């Protein structure tokens, strides 16, 4: 017997490309079955999803947090199940998560601050490696460079990228000013040169929207770079940005990740902004789910998250397409949001083997996986496991893609 049966929700699966009404059954924290109709008596608990869209849990690549304003409950209320959190102090953020635990999965990136937690704008390779090793031992998943606010020299930026690959640390880079860079596009071109093909997460792609064609061409030539765009104004979203609809030659969007500017009780969210894009028909719900669930899950190394199919982790959110508000969400089959109310307990911290002990000392669950930014597969091919072709499509124009195993 299933633990939970969600009935009559509209499924938006970013991996198969399917969108249609279906039932989803959950057992032992995994999606057990996915079919047009499943008998209500087959589950211990039933949840009615009529009128709601069900997609994999949202990954918010927020990346820079104010500990004073950060409210993990607000993240859960927004439909987020996984959060990438940048902070200058890994220990302080772990303490805050333990005090406000609500079922989130969090990956922490320790922010490098020249003159504060590292000597200055031109640290040596040894100092950079020591900083990263300490960050990983403290429970961080990697590091973040805030180039627009705390700039390093070009040489130091290159050393950070090299060290991240050597030590297996995730790294995100905001391409800001250095001693040799000028315009936003020149800053972007510089950091791409400095990386020498090393994969990294490029944040705030919105900074380069004034040169959409040259930006797109540069990133098309460097598919190893994972891209993120930050929502800042809920009314504007990505509408004024020429990069919003840009696609690569393989048909995938130029933007891989989405993030919110704020995660506070009165702040916006990825779902809030994405809903506006869906209403304006800039994105379909399936395309939104790919950029907020499937691709981020792949980039973080979650093999069983980011899609809806038997065997996948039961991380998903049900939201109201009329309001753009999250109604229910689940993490590994456990409810963390019910009827808009946060009910989640505990939490998981994504870390490396070096950081497990530090995370567990804060009474949080550590999930250790190999670190480092992978080369992201944006295209899909092969058999579509768990997809039932007899399920009726609501939007048959939504492109279907297969599954890469």
- Domain segments of the chain as ranges: 58-305
Distance separating the N- and C-terminal Cα atoms of the chain? 28
Distance separating alpha carbons of residues 346 and 279, to the nearest angstrom: 34
CB 380 within 8 A of CB 290: no
- State mean pLDDT over 142-165: 87
| Inter-residue contact 362 to 346 (CB < 8 Å) | no
350, HSE (Cβ side, Cα atoms, 13 Å): 26
Q: For residues 13-42, b (16+ Cβ closer than 10 Å) or e, as one string?
A: bbbbbbbbbbbbbbbebbbbbbeeebeeee
pLDDT band at 299 (very low <50, low <70, confident <90, very high): confident
Whether residue 54 is predicted with pLDDT greater than 60 in this model: the reply is yes
CA distance 395 to 279: 14
Q: Does the domain formed by 58-305 have CATH 3.40.50.2000?
A: no
Q: What is the largest CA-CA distance in the chain?
A: 67
Task: Identify the residue with better confidence: 55 or 104.
Answer: 55
In sequence order, what are the residues at sequence separation of 6 or more whose Cβ sits closer than 8 angstroms to the Cβ of residue 155? 122
* Confidence band for 263, pLDDT divided at 50, 70 and 90: low
Give the residue, 70 or 6, on which the prediction is more confident.
Answer: 6
Contacts of 11 (CB under 8 A, 6+ apart): 18, 19, 20, 21, 22, 24, 34, 53, 54, 55, 308
Of 213, 275, 280, 276, give the one whose Cα is nearest residue 247. 213
Please tell me the distance from the alpha carbon of residue 368 to that of residue 141, in angstroms, as a whole number: 9
């Amino acid at each position: 017997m299933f633990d939970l049966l969600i009935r009559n929700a509209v499924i938006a699966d970013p991996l198969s490309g399917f969108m249609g009404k279906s039932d989803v059954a959950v057992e032992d924290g995994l999606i057990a079955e996915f079919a047009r109709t499943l008998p209500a008596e087959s589950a211990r608990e039933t949840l009615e999803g009529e009128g709601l869209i069900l997609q994999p849990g949202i990954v918010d690549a927020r990346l820079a947090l104010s500990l004073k304003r950060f409210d993990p409950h607000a993240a859960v209320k927004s439909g987020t199940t996984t959060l990438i959190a940048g902070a200058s102090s890994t220990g302080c953020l772990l303490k805050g998560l333990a005090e406000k635990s609500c079922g989130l999965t969090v990956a922490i990136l320790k922010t490098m601050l020249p003159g504060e937690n590292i000597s200055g704008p031109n640290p040596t390779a040894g100092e950079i490696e020591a900083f990263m090793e300490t960050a990983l031992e403290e429970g961080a998943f990697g590091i973040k460079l805030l180039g627009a606010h705390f700039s390093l020299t070009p040489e130091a930026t290159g050393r950070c990228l090299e060290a991240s690959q050597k030590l297996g640390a995730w790294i995100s880079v905001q391409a800001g000013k250095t001693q040799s860079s000028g315009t936003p596009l020149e800053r972007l071109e510089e950091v791409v040169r400095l990386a020498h093909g090393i994969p990294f997460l490029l944040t705030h792609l919105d900074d380069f929207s004034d040169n959409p064609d040259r930006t797109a061409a540069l990133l098309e030539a460097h598919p190893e770079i994972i891209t993120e765009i930050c929502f800042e104004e809920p009314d504007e979203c990505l509408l004024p940005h020429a990069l919003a609809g840009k696609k690569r030659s393989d048909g995938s969007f130029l933007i891989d990740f989405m993030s919110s500017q704020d995660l506070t009780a009165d702040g916006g969210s990825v779902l809030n902004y994405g809903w506006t894009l869906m209403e304006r028909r800039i994105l379909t719900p399936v395309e939104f789910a790919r950029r907020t669930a499937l691709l981020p899950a792949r980039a973080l190394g979650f093999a069983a998250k980011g899609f809806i199919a038997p065997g996948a982790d039961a991380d998903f959110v049900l939201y109201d397409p009329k309001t753009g508000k999250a109604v229910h969400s689940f993490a590994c089959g456990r409810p963390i949001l019910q009827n808009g109310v946060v009910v989640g307990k505990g939490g998981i911290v994504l870390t490396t083997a070096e950081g497990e002990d530090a995370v567990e000392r804060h009474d949080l669950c550590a999930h250790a996986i190999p670190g480092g930014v992978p080369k992201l597969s944006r295209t899909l091919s092969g058999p579509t496991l768990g997809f039932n072709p007899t399920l009726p499509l609501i939007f048959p124009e939504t492109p279907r893609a297969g599954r890469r195993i």
